[in-house]
């Protein structure tokens, strides 16, 4: 029977509908997906063998869940995806504030309506998308916000005394009955508010302003928390932790492949931008490596974490930098250059928490250092490693390139030159082409110029060349030549 035809309690009973709790609903639908080999949490990368199996076990166990992890680890995304495990539609008694189950009503309104109309009680249907409620825990959240309070205006309008339970105005949690309710950043919730959640989690009932009101709510709670909050702002009170069935630890991507997949999925790019700007694979690797370097940097507070949003916004800024440059130079299409990474710096500085040493260095300087460290990490994957110490008579694959710079007063790469001018400048350095042919001959032609500039930056990071920023671009010099010119 189609739900459009089920508009009364009698029709619902005739359809064979059976009541089930939300936890049972989630469990049964997850079982079906697992048996069919369908993913329960699509669009989540890097958690296939860690977080997702634990989350599925928690749902099968009918647990309330706490997702514990640093910022930018998809905790809220996981909670929102649980909606897909709900039934497509849910029947409720029409007009009920708390989504009363027609076969198992709990509110006075629903019971009175059924007593009055019997099998003719009107039924409405709620789509699963509307069965998700989310609240950010802030210090100003009150018990009235979450659970409810006496409403004097309702009492006056209905001419009821405060002893009548119909004067109660329900809070967010009762209104989310038979739904998923997410409380983000749980430790930020004041301890006395956390205490108010005890009965709801364990016994499934609520108490409001002295009313002995028994409301066996049917809820799936999901909490998110950041370990940093446990020491800086607040904590989850022990009895509440004891009532949360499963605590699941989230984590950052463990390799660049996963990190790139996340960035590609989440970056919001304009279609014109994507058509105009080509991004070499090496540039994508470098961008993700910045995040990995930041998570182990001595200048950054590791407890605060490095959100995946840093790479996502960095990628958006990288393309925008290249797009702006191409628009100014008149190029219809362009390829990302290494110098475009300077446009990523604003995406880094706003998303890292610096320790004292980092503050002394300055946020922009730390960002540049992270880019440099990323180059050093990836460089040996493309070219022979540069050792710190060599024998005096030892030769290096880079000797001809370094010698070319020794004979020059300085090689400049302005930021806003056209692609053809940029290519001509790099082609003038014959030693660069020789190294590319020798060690990366198979590389795509479109990637060659980026790889050449990457090679120059790598030699700078390994102290074979020097570079300095000037108002319109970057100048590369021989390391010792720059010392001599200094004298």
Query: What is the residue-wise DSSP string for 253-321?
Result: -SSHHHHHHHHHHH----HHHHHHEE--HHHHHHHHHHHHHHTT-TTB-TTT---THHHHHHHHHHHHH
Q: What is the model's pTM? A: 0.86
What whole-number distance in Å separates Cα of residue 480 and Cα of residue 439? 26
The average pLDDT across 54-72 equals 95
CA gyration radius for the chain? 30
Confidence of residue 193 (pLDDT cuts 50, 70, 90): confident
Strand residues in 325-393 grouped as ranges (E)? 334-335
The average pLDDT across 169-176 equals 88
Alpha carbon of residue 41 to chain centroid: 14
Instruction: Write down the pLDDT at residue 240.
Output: 87
Looking at 86-95, 204-213, 384-393, 470-479, which range is the least confident one? Answer: 204-213
What whole-number distance in Å separates Cα of residue 261 and Cα of residue 47? 12
The residue among 4 and 244 whose pLDDT is bigger is 244
H or E element in which residue 53 lies: helix 51-60
Bridge partners of residue 197, in order along the sequence: none
Alpha carbon of residue 156 to chain centroid: 47
Instruction: Write down the pLDDT at residue 231.
Output: 47
- Write out pLDDT tens, residues 89-103: 999 999 999 999 999
pLDDT of residue 393 exceeding 80, the answer is no
Say if CB 440 and CB 377 are below 8 A apart: no
Q: Which residues contact 1 (CB under 8 A, 6 or more apart)?
A: 11, 14, 15
Domain boundaries for CATH 3.40.50.300 within the chain: 3-249
Instruction: Write down the pLDDT at residue 233.
Output: 56
Burial string for 440-466 (b: 16+ CB within 10 Å, else e) reads beebeeebbbbbbbbbbbbbbbbebbb
H or E element in which residue 168 lies: strand 168-170
What whole-number distance in Å separates Cα of residue 86 and Cα of residue 23? 9
pLDDT of residue 232 exceeding 60, the answer is no
Bridge partners of residue 125, in order along the sequence: 91
The residue among 395 and 337 whose pLDDT is bigger is 337
Backbone angles phi, psi at 136, to 5 degrees: -85, 125
Say if CB 137 and CB 185 are below 8 A apart: yes
Looking at 14-23, 40-49, 211-220, 291-300, which range is the least confident one? Answer: 211-220
Pair of tokens at residue 318: 């990288």
Instruction: Write down the pLDDT at residue 394.
Output: 65
Confidence of residue 140 (pLDDT cuts 50, 70, 90): confident
The average pLDDT across 410-414 equals 87
pLDDT of residue 323 exceeding 80, the answer is yes
- Write out pLDDT tens, residues 101-117: 999 998 888 999 999 99
Give CB contacts under 8 A, 24+ apart, made by 417-426.
417/329, 418/329, 418/330, 418/331, 419/326, 419/329, 419/331, 419/334, 419/335, 422/337, 422/449, 423/449, 426/452, 426/453
* Pairing label, strands 411-414, 219-225: unpaired
Calculate ∠ Cα 208-213-217, nearest 5°.
95
Q: Which residues contact 125 (CB under 8 A, 6 or more apart)?
A: 3, 6, 89, 90, 91, 92
Percent of the chain topping pLDDT 70: 90
Looking at 274-278, 346-350, 392-396, 437-441, which range is the least confident one? Answer: 392-396
Taken in order 43, 44, 46, 51, is the CA torsion positive or negative? negative
The average pLDDT across 445-453 equals 93
What whole-number distance in Å separates Cα of residue 80 and Cα of residue 74? 10
Instruction: Write down the pLDDT at residue 189.
Output: 86
Instruction: Write down the pLDDT at residue 176.
Output: 93
- Write out pLDDT tens, residues 22-60: 999 999 999 999 999 999 999 999 999 999 999 999 999
End-to-end CA distance of the chain: 90
When the candidates are 2.60.120.10, 3.40.50.300, 1.20.1110.10, 3.10.450.50, the CATH number that belongs to 3-249 is: 3.40.50.300
pLDDT of residue 230 exceeding 60, the answer is no
Q: Which residues contact 456 (CB under 8 A, 6 or more apart)?
A: 338, 432, 465, 467, 476
């Amino acid at each position: 029977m189609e739900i459009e035809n089920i508009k009364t309690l009698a029709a619902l009973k005739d359809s064979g509908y059976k009541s089930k709790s939300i936890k049972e609903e989630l469990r049964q639908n997850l079982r079906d997906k697992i048996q069919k080999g369908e993913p329960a949490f699509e669009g989540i990368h890097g958690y296939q063998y860690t977080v997702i199996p634990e989350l599925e076990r928690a749902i099968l166990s009918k647990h309330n869940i706490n997702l514990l992890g640093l910022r930018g680890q998809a905790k809220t995304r996981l909670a929102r995806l649980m909606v897909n495990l709900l039934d497509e539609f849910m029947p409720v008694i029409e007009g009920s504030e708390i989504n009363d189950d027609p076969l198992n009503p709990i509110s006075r309104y629903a019971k009175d309506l059924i007593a009055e109309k019997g099998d003719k009680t009107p039924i409405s249907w709620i789509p699963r998308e509307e069965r998700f409620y989310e609240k950010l825990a802030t210090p100003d959240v009150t018990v009235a916000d979450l659970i409810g309070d006496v409403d004097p205006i309702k009492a006056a309008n209905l001419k009821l005394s405060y002893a009548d339970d119909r004067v109660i105005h329900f809070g967010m949690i009762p209104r989310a009955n038979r739904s998923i309710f997410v409380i983000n950043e749980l430790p930020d919730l004041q301890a006395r508010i956390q205490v108010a959640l005890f009965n709801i989690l364990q016994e499934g009932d609520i108490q409001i302003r002295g009313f002995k009101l028994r409301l066996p709510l049917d809820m799936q709670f999901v909490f998110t928390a950041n370990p940093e909050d446990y020491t800086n702002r607040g904590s989850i009170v022990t009895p509440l932790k004891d009532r949360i069935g499963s605590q699941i630890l989230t984590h950052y991507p463990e390799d660049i492949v996963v990190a790139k997949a996340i960035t590609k999925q989440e970056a919001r790019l304009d279609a014109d931008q994507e058509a105009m700007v080509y991004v070499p694979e090496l540039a994508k690797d470098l961008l993700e490596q910045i995040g990995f370097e930041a998570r182990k940097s001595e200048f950054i507070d590791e407890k605060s974490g490095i959100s995946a949003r840093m790479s996502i916004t960095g990628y958006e800024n990288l393309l925008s930098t290249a797009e702006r440059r191409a628009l100014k130079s008149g190029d219809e299409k362009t390829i990302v250059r290494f110098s475009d990474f300077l446009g990523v710096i604003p995406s880094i500085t706003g998303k890292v928490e610096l320790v004292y040493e980092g503050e002394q260095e300055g946020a922009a300087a730390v960002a540049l250092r992270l880019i440099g460290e990323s180059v050093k990490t990836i460089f040996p994957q493309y070219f022979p490693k540069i050792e710190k110490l060599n024998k005096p008579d030892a030769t290096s694959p880079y000797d001809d390139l370094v010698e070319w710079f020794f004979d020059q007063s300085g090689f400049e790469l302005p930021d806003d030159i056209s692609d053809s001018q940029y290519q001509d400048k790099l082609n003038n350095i014959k030693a660069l082409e020789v190294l590319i042919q020798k060690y990366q001959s198979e590389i795509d032609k479109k990637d060659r110029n980026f790889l050449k500039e990457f090679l120059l930056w790598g030699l700078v990071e390994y102290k074979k060349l020097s570079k300095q920023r000037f108002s319109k671009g970057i100048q590369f010099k021989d390391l010792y030549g720059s010392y001599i010119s200094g004298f």
